Amino acid sequence: MSAAALLPVALLGGLVGLVVPPVAWRFVDPPARPAGAVRLCPPLAVVVFVGLATVRGDDPALPVLLAVAAVGLVLAVVDLACLRLPDPLVAAAGVLAFGGLAGAALLAGTPGRLVGALAGAAFSGAAHVLLALLPKSRLGFGDVKLAAVLGLPLGWLGRDALLTGLLLPHLLHGGLVLGLLAARRVHRDTLLPLGPALLAGAWLAALLT
């Protein structure tokens, strides 16, 4: 995608970043609202949007990827603030992903990619259910539902994207936990949100595969 074409995507990302905090605050009590979110969300959204447009600009599902990313930014802020992935937001991401990918498959005449998306959602959801059922697992079922939703666009992008999107979040989360433990910022029993890692891993998988 040309630089001129990326400019409106960057502007859209900035606008989405401005909207993310007020939408997230509907799910977060005032004392838990991180002050830095209002300042950080616009540039972060620009990076997320421009990254997807640069790498996936020729994919008919790019608008779907951007829409899911927008909801994902809200989910990340909420999870960081209060360790929650609200069902209405996860469901909205799922509806956008499935409906948008179904439309993209129909318009592009590629029904096989929709089948791949559904298979990705099933595989990602099942894998995280198994992880959640392991003894002493701290994986919540909000994380499981989000992983299943993210399996839709990852499955659309292909097997490599799906497998990378399944592995990367846990590497990112594990590395963060080890770093925080080494710095004595958290304890072994401290609960940390997995949602942002799931979303970051899916975004990186879309860029790297």
Model confidence over 27-75: pLDDT tens digits? 999 988 887 888 999 999 999 999 999 999 999 999 999 999 999 999 9
163-206: pLDDT as tens digits: 999 999 999 999 998 998 888 888 888 888 999 999 999 999 99
Using an 8 Å Cβ cutoff, are 151 and 177 in contact?
Answer: no
pLDDT for the residue 137: 87
Q: What is the rounded distance in angstroms from the CA atom of residue 154 to the CA atom of residue 177? A: 25
SS3 2: coil
The pTM (predicted TM-score) of the whole model is 0.95
pLDDT on residue 5:
85
Average pLDDT over residues 66-88: 97
The amino acid sitting at 137 is: S
Q: Which residue has the tokens 């900035």?
A: 14
Note the residue count of the chain.
209
Backbone φ and ψ for 140, nearest 5 degrees, come out as -85, 165
Nearest to 140 by CA among 181, 202, 73, 195: 195
Q: Is the pLDDT of residue 1 over 80?
A: no
Q: What does the pLDDT look like over 108-165, one tens digit per residue?
A: 999 999 999 999 999 999 999 999 999 888 899 999 999 999 999 999 999 999 999 9
pLDDT at 2 over 80: no
Measured in whole angstroms, how far is the alpha carbon of residue 70 from the centre of its chain? 9
**What does the radius of gyration of the chain's CA atoms come to, in whole angstroms?**
17
Helix or strand or coil: residue 135? Answer: coil
Q: Is 69 exposed, middle or buried (0-12, 13-18, 19+ CB in 10 A)?
A: buried
